[in-house]
Structure 1
Amino acid sequence: MTVETPSQKPASAMSHRVLTAVRRMPFMIVFTLVFLAIGVATGALWSPVDERAWFGEVATGLPSFADGRWWTILTSPFFAEPPFAYLTLLPLIVGGIGWAEWQFGTLRTVGLFVAGHVIGVLGAAGVLALLTPVDWHWSDRLSQTLDVGPSCGALTALVFAIATLPSPWRLRARLAIGLWAAISVLYLGQLFDLEHAVAMTVALTVSGLLPAFRHPEGRPSEREWRLIAFAGLLAIGAIQLIDLAVPYDGPMGVNAPVFSFFDVAFDVVVIALVANGIRIGHRIAWLLTVIFGALNVLTAALSFAFLPLLIEQGEIDSAWDVVGLQLAPTLLWIAMLIFLIVARGAFRVRMRRSRRTLSATPVREDEVRNVLHRHGGGTLSWMATWRGNQHMPAADGVIAYQAHSGVAILLGDPIVPTGAEREALESFATAAQRSGLIPCAFSSSETLRQVMPEGWRSVVVAEDTIVDLPGLEFKGKAWGAVRTAINRAAREGVEFRMVRLADEPWSVRAQVRAISEQWTGDKGLPEMRFTLGTVDDAMDPEVAVGIAVDADGSLHGVTSWLPVYGADGTVKGWTLDLMRRRDGGFGPVMEFLIGASAQHFSEAGHSFLSLSGAPLVRTEETQATAVYAVLDRIAELIEPLYGFRSLHRFKQKFNPRAEPMHLLYRDEGDLPRIGIALTRAYLPDASLHDLIASAAPALRR
């Protein structure tokens, strides 16, 4: 039998990936190799191919078709001009054709590539042929131009691949391609820009109409209104910057800009600030954009009104010198103003972050407890009563959340009647979006994941470890560590007591605080919060606290247990929260405390214990993705500081069953901000210096 060594496994995995790519993307690979080989054989890779005598025999354009060289449709995709165009075309070929071939198969991708190329080059030639009778410098110039390259076919394949993306990435990518094609053809105006515009217009239209790619569209959400307005502002900003800094000779006229660094920098800053405010939904950004737009339209109207006078006085030679440069931005501003007025309800976010709270009636802490007693909740629901959480009513219940770094983080599941989870999550997401916050749900159950809004994503961020209590007995090898700890505690005179910490004498409470402060001090960071409680939280009269004390009254360890209410208003289980042990005390005190607590709750008739979830810990069976790879890396950095993975391994001594806990979010674009927000939620008091100093040892490993 042959055993594969660890050093052989990466090579084997790489070979498998290569074979998979060759099997699923043969057209992309063959075309890329042929494209490069022809570039080397003809010298097109390092010298301009349009200087060769035979260039007209392989290039498309109106002159070639007028002379009957129709075969150039087949030859032109295999050349590029100028040589640096290979740097942009190769990623487009690999990304566009490769992605489409992976999605649709080889034959369909070949069809898309050929159709896109033919439509692009023939469509552009047809447009120029129709414009021949018109005395237009731009069309006359392009009518004498030839072009080569596979960009039309590759872009068409890319557009159809984009149609397979989920919302909102599909809309974002289509907007980006559409704006790029429009701006490049109107302002830069080269022959390949016109070919791209023709091919992209057809590809975007067809991919949106085909039944296989058709998606049901309702009224745009507030987020989509903001996204479209943001894209429109970027387009207007790009046009202004082109006018300032880029010389061009296109359909809009000839531009020879005279600019200063200050002019360009000022425009970039203003556009970036206003556009970002529009993306978030700021009311002030909406108002400023409307004012700017109105001023631009008014300025253009005055320019058009004074055209006859300017021509008469000889200030300009042709009306088109003004109309060409003003027409596109003016039409865009008019469209933007109409759009902003129609979508004005999506721009209500306050400028000051401190005022960005969810637009809902506040819920008092006693009301949160009443809802918990009435509807019950999950293993994290009692954390909704902790300091630092905000609350909003939803579906005859309540939602606990925290707002950090522009993100509203729903803690666990909504505390609502069974079956109302989806309604509650949707109302939370709507309220967050209207307040300019990114909505997400952290450490949520599988039940909530199943009813999350359409288009949302999920990722496993923890495992809830559950110990079933009915019939619990510490028998067999699997319970050896717990049984040994309990027996050793009896021999050494360490006693278990389940108490209400608030009712304990001052001496006991003082020892609990001293042990906790010692533990926190060893970490080098402030005490973590959010899903990790403190001694103050353990003082709640409804929280059970297990302590291990010896005959002298010395405290060796403490655990706190949060109640988990059922829908009938009774406690059905308990969730482990605080775990603290005294340095130099009884060795297996945690095994002893958790085991003894399990016995206590089992005898009291409760159903389960949750040993709580270790953040950023997931099962090995979870499908590996790029998102999980990032989370795994973060977990590696945090592990030396708080030992989440080692804590998860410790909990396996109690033979729990695992239930996944999810992060629910709208799309991957929100993840960077969510990561920052979660860091702030767990470490609200940590400074940047604290984080860097504590992470440095982990980064050096």
Structure 2
Amino acid sequence: MTTSLTASHPALAAIHDYPSADNPSSFLAVSEGNSYFQLPDHPGLIVYRRTGRFLVQLGGPFAPTGSYRELLEAFRSTAREQGLGLVGVQLQRYDAQLYADAGFTVNQVGASWARSLSTFSLAGTKFMQLRNKISRAKRAGLDVVEVHDDAVFPRLREIDRLWLRDKGEQTRELEYLVGRYGDRMQPHRRMFVGFIDGDPVGYISYSPVYGNRPGWMHDLSRRVPSRIPGIMEAINVAAVETFRAEEVAWLHFGFTPFTGLHDDHEMPGHDVGFRRFMELLWAHGEAVYPAQSQLAYKQKWAPDLLLPEYVAFDGPASVAGFAHIFRASNAF
């Protein structure tokens, strides 16, 4: 049985109640446009989108242990009965091991990064350049505010428009594996905005993270094209200071494909050729996804946790199946 988004929003309950895989990106499950696979008398669900002849699954089943395998096998059977390929992305190591045991071809596809906040500090020479950039933004008049009123969102949409235009005519608005703001799940998120002379010049949206490493995920972030350095860094520092005052344990920076690849992370039976393809995209795949620049920003904050993330194919690893992940994300 498949369902679309409903008023009760089963995905929100599932990611909160069944964080079995501790997926820091689980809040993406509630995005509009997702579909959900469920079984009668089996708690939990699977999040997916159909694109072309593939079902693209987000994470593993958000379900208790007792119904995890039943959901996976039923979803797999449904895809096969419909003549559709099945590929899952952003699986955590827990998921990856179960998928490999079930006969999927599982490869590391990247990593997510996180920083524990209990000991976080910008003191020391390691953060000197970061502190200098933040100081320059503040000297330019930057004021960072956590906003709770969606009246500012139309002005943030203008930042989105300028940001996309600056990236080039071919740049598309990503979705599915990237968060959003302003929908009916907005009350669960937090939004920090930087203003100069009363005008918004950048923002960072933070999504909740559940499970064993609870906290917030640095999600969607945009800024107006500007020569003023340190705008995004200053916004994030303001959020971190707020979170630390609230005794939040973790700041997650989310998934970056092609990063953190290591032999020790791979599953038995992984595809060696696909692993080389991931390494090639890390080195030369900026046009597919700017992984190196994304990782450089995250490393500014000295993350102390790397979580390998995986892609799983029902059958051999395939470039076509992998490409449908990016199609589902509106990358092309």
TM-score normalised over the length of structure 2: 0.85
Q: Which residue of 2 aligns with 1:348?
A: none
Shift of 1:363: 6.0
C-alpha separation between the residues in 1 aligned to 2:129 and 2:46? 39
Given that 1:560 and 1:578 are in contact with CA atoms closer than 8 Å, whether structure 2 keeps it comes out as yes
Does the alignment pair 1:364 with 2:6? Answer: yes
Shift of 1:409: 1.4
Shift of 1:397: 1.0
Does the alignment pair 1:482 with 2:127? Answer: no
Distance change in 2, residues 1:604/1:517 (3 Å): same
Given that 2:147 and 2:192 are in contact with CA atoms closer than 8 Å, whether structure 1 keeps it comes out as yes
Amino acid in the other structure paired with 1:485: K
2:308 to 657, 660, 673: 660
SS in 2 for 1:618: coil
Distance change in 2, residues 1:481/1:435 (3 Å): farther
Amino acid in the other structure paired with 2:47: A
Q: Which residue of 2 aligns with 1:586?
A: 228
Q: Which residue of 2 aligns with 1:557?
A: 202
Shift of 1:466: 0.7
SS in 1 for 2:74: helix
Amino acid in the other structure paired with 1:509: F
Q: Which residue of 1 aligns with 2:29?
A: 384
Write the mapping of 1:435-514 to structure 2, written as runs, cut at 5 A: 435-452=82-99, 453-500=101-148, 503-505=149-151, 508-514=152-158
Identity across the alignment (%): 24
Write the mapping of 1:520-539 to structure 2, written as runs, cut at 5 A: 520-521=164-165, 522-523=167-168, 524-536=170-182
Number of residues of Structure 1 aligned to a counterpart in Structure 2: 318
Write the mapping of 1:426-441 to structure 2, written as runs, cut at 5 A: 426-441=73-88
1:270-313: per-residue Cα shift (whole Å, max 9, x none)?
Answer: xxxxxxxxxxxxxxxxxxxxxxxxxxxxxxxxxxxxxxxxxxxx
Amino acid in the other structure paired with 1:475: A
C-alpha separation between the residues in 2 aligned to 1:449 and 1:412? 10
Does the alignment pair 1:609 with 2:246? Answer: no
1:645-693: per-residue Cα shift (whole Å, max 9, x none)?
Answer: 211122111111211010012332x513312312311227x5xxxxxxx
Give the structure with the larger strand fraction: 2
Q: Which residue of 2 aligns with 1:402?
A: 49
C-alpha separation between the residues in 2 aligned to 1:418 and 1:478? 43
Does the alignment pair 1:417 with 2:68? Answer: no
Write the mapping of 1:151-162 to structure 2, written as runs, cut at 5 A: none
Distance change in 2, residues 1:640/1:672 (3 Å): closer
1:613-671: per-residue Cα shift (whole Å, max 9, x none)?
Answer: 11233335567931122234445564146422211122111111211010012332x51
C-alpha separation between the residues in 1 aligned to 2:49 and 2:246? 35
Distance change in 2, residues 1:549/1:418 (3 Å): farther
Amino acid in the other structure paired with 1:664: A
Shift of 1:538: 9.4
C-alpha separation between the residues in 1 aligned to 2:27 and 2:45? 12
TM-score normalised over the length of structure 1: 0.42
C-alpha separation between the residues in 2 aligned to 1:515 and 1:439? 36
Amino acid in the other structure paired with 1:533: G
C-alpha separation between the residues in 1 aligned to 2:124 and 2:143? 24
Shift of 1:599: 2.1
1:482-512: per-residue Cα shift (whole Å, max 9, x none)?
Answer: 3333434443331222223xx143xx32331
Amino acid in the other structure paired with 2:243: F
Given that 2:204 and 2:221 are in contact with CA atoms closer than 8 Å, whether structure 1 keeps it comes out as yes
2:160 to 507, 516, 537: 516
Does the alignment pair 1:542 with 2:188? Answer: yes
SS in 1 for 2:229: coil
Given that 2:5 and 2:34 are in contact with CA atoms closer than 8 Å, whether structure 1 keeps it comes out as no
C-alpha separation between the residues in 2 aligned to 1:542 and 1:403? 26
Unaligned runs of at least 5 residues, structure 1: 1-358, 687-701
C-alpha separation between the residues in 2 aligned to 1:589 and 1:437? 45
Q: Which residue of 1 aligns with 2:322?
A: 675
SS in 1 for 2:306: strand
Given that 2:88 and 2:311 are in contact with CA atoms closer than 8 Å, whether structure 1 keeps it comes out as yes
Shift of 1:415: 1.7
C-alpha separation between the residues in 1 aligned to 2:204 and 2:30? 19
C-alpha separation between the residues in 1 aligned to 2:263 and 2:124? 27
Distance change in 2, residues 1:454/1:372 (3 Å): closer
SS in 1 for 2:228: coil
C-alpha separation between the residues in 2 aligned to 1:420 and 1:638? 38
SS in 2 for 1:487: helix
Amino acid in the other structure paired with 1:516: D
C-alpha separation between the residues in 2 aligned to 1:665 and 1:593? 38
Distance change in 2, residues 1:451/1:495 (3 Å): same
Given that 1:406 and 1:673 are in contact with CA atoms closer than 8 Å, whether structure 2 keeps it comes out as no
Amino acid in the other structure paired with 1:591: E
C-alpha separation between the residues in 1 aligned to 2:3 and 2:157? 36
SS in 1 for 2:176: coil
Write the mapping of 1:54-453 to structure 2, written as runs, cut at 5 A: 359-360=1-2, 364=6, 366-376=9-19, 378-393=23-38, 395-417=42-64, 420-452=67-99, 453=101
C-alpha separation between the residues in 2 aligned to 1:489 and 1:587? 6
Shift of 1:420: 4.7
Q: Which residue of 1 aligns with 2:239?
A: 597
C-alpha separation between the residues in 2 aligned to 1:644 and 1:672? 18
Name which one, 1 or 2, has greater alpha-carbon Rg. 1
SS in 1 for 2:194: strand
SS in 1 for 2:218: strand
Given that 1:575 and 1:610 are in contact with CA atoms closer than 8 Å, whether structure 2 keeps it comes out as yes
Amino acid in the other structure paired with 1:546: F
C-alpha separation between the residues in 1 aligned to 2:181 and 2:194? 16
